Amino acid sequence: MPVDLKNVLDDIARLHQEAKDNINRADSLQTLQQLKIDYLAKKGKVTVLFAKIGQVDPKDRPTLGEHLNRLKTEITDALQQRSDELATAQMAISDFDPSLPGRKPSVGGLNPLLQVMDEIKSIFIGMGFRIEEGPEIETEYNNFVALNMPEYHPARDMQDTFYLPNKYLLRTHTSPVQIRTMESQKPPVRMIAPGRCFRKDTPDATHSPTFHQVEGLCVDKNVSFADLKGVVQAFATKLFGNQVKVRFRPSFFPFTEPSAEYDFSCVFCNQKGCRFCKNTGWLEISGAGMVDPAVFGFVGYDPEVYTGYAFGLGVERVALLKYQIDDIRTLYENDLRYLEQF
């Protein structure tokens, strides 16, 4: 006894209505997924109805097949449509809430190192110095030879150098800009050269394979060590205030004679002793001295007529003191939480 077509068509109509109601009521993509399983999966309510095709009168089979296929398509479409609606609604919720306050865009700022560089530059510009620049890739000649450090000179060992092919290197200090400037200009010269330098140093709290210096050079008739002391003291005062003292200690650099290292009195403890000055009351800044006549020989200045002083400055060192930072790595790490403090 075949199954009556009309009964199956009634089942189909009921199922269609039920599925439509459930789908329209679904309020999440998970619910829709479950409905898809309930109706269309292998044992789903629609799928099992297909078995009835074999049970109705053979002449009714095409009609039933047609109805079943239409039912399946319509449920598939309804699922898809509802799923689109839900996705759009959800996107609207997460992407745009007009009641939320606006987000403040973060504005970039200068790294503290660059701020210190700018401050150093403007102090020296105020004292009549010009800014000169040189390349970070230098010749061995400018970086060493013309600064009175021929090959095998022991002072080269202090500056562990990144050598490049063909007698090029990454400059180990800004002193080669002295050479470039004197080679291209006649005296008098009054210049500073800010820039990046490189040495094979393992990074730690006070070392970095790349760091910054400001070189200073003044050449004219009758320039003396007293002028050097005056300029360094004026610089220290402008940078740290009236109370800061400067002292020079005898030292050695191949390109200056006599040579000195200079210190600032500790700006943190007023020389009472603290961890920044390692309880000495003094902070080492860099080296300086009177230009060695041999250097004048390399650049073609007459040492009988001209004298000059030169000095170096470690920019990281100044930044540490200025901002009371105790690890130079923080200057390079680009951690916004840290940089935003400046």
Q: Pick from 132, 138, 140, 215: which binds ligand DAH (CB under 6 A)?
A: 215
Q: Pick from 116, 231, 244, 288: which binds ligand DAH (CB under 6 A)?
A: 288
312 scored as a contact of ligand DAH (CB under 6 A): yes
The contact pattern for ligand DAH, residues 224-253, with x = CB under 6 A and - = no contact, is: -----------------------------x
Q: How far is the CB of 321 from ligand DAH (least distance, A)?
A: 17
CB–CB of 214/200 below 8 Å?
A: no
Interacting stretch for ligand DAH, rule CB under 6 A, among 138-146, 267-275, 285-293, 325-333? 285-293
Alpha carbons 232 and 131: distance in angstroms, whole number:
17
194 scored as a contact of ligand DAH (CB under 6 A): no
Q: Which CB sits closer to ligand DAH, 49 or 214?
A: 214
Q: How far is the CB of 126 from ligand DAH (least distance, A)?
A: 20
Alpha carbons 139 and 136: distance in angstroms, whole number:
10
Q: Which CB sits closer to ligand DAH, 12 or 177?
A: 177
Q: Which CB sits closer to ligand DAH, 75 or 310?
A: 310
Interacting stretch for ligand DAH, rule CB under 6 A, among 44-52, 59-67, 309-317, 326-334? 309-317
140 scored as a contact of ligand DAH (CB under 6 A): no
Q: How far is the CB of 105 from ligand DAH (least distance, A)?
A: 41
Q: Which CB sits closer to ligand DAH, 172 or 265?
A: 172
Q: Which CB sits closer to ligand DAH, 64 or 217?
A: 217
190 scored as a contact of ligand DAH (CB under 6 A): no
Interacting stretch for ligand DAH, rule CB under 6 A, among 163-171, 204-212, 235-243, 310-318? 310-318
308 scored as a contact of ligand DAH (CB under 6 A): no
Q: How far is the CB of 286 from ligand DAH (least distance, A)?
A: 5
Q: Which CB sits closer to ligand DAH, 195 or 289?
A: 289
Q: What is the dihedral of CA 145, 215, 338, 265, to 10 degrees?
A: 120
CB–CB of 267/244 below 8 Å?
A: yes
* Tokens found for residue 232: 């360094």
Q: How far is the CB of 96 from ligand DAH (least distance, A)?
A: 57
Count of positions on this chain that bind ligand DAH (CB under 6 A): 12
144 scored as a contact of ligand DAH (CB under 6 A): no
3-class SS letters over the chain: CCECHHHHHHHHHHHHHHHHHHHHHCCCHHHHHHHHHHHHCCCCHHHHHHHHHHHECHHHHHHHHHHHHHHHHHHHHHHHHHHHHHHHHHHHHHHCCCCCCCCCCCCCCCCHHHHHHHHHHHHHHHCCCEECCCCCEEEHHHHCHHHCCCCCCHHHHHCCCCEECCCEEECCCCCHHHHHHHHHCCCCEEEEEEEEEECCCCCCCCCCCEEEEEEEEEEECCCCHHHHHHHHHHHHHHHHCCCCCEEEEEEEECCEEEEEEEEEECCCCCCCCCCCCCCCCEEEEEEEEEECHHHHHHHCCCCCCCEEEEECCEHHHHHHHHHCCCCHHHHCCCCHHHHCCC
287 scored as a contact of ligand DAH (CB under 6 A): yes
Alpha carbons 247 and 262: distance in angstroms, whole number:
6
Q: Pick from 139, 148, 175, 208: which binds ligand DAH (CB under 6 A)?
A: 175
Alpha carbons 287 and 321: distance in angstroms, whole number:
17
Binding site for ligand DAH (CB under 6 A): 173, 175, 215, 253, 256, 286-289, 310-312
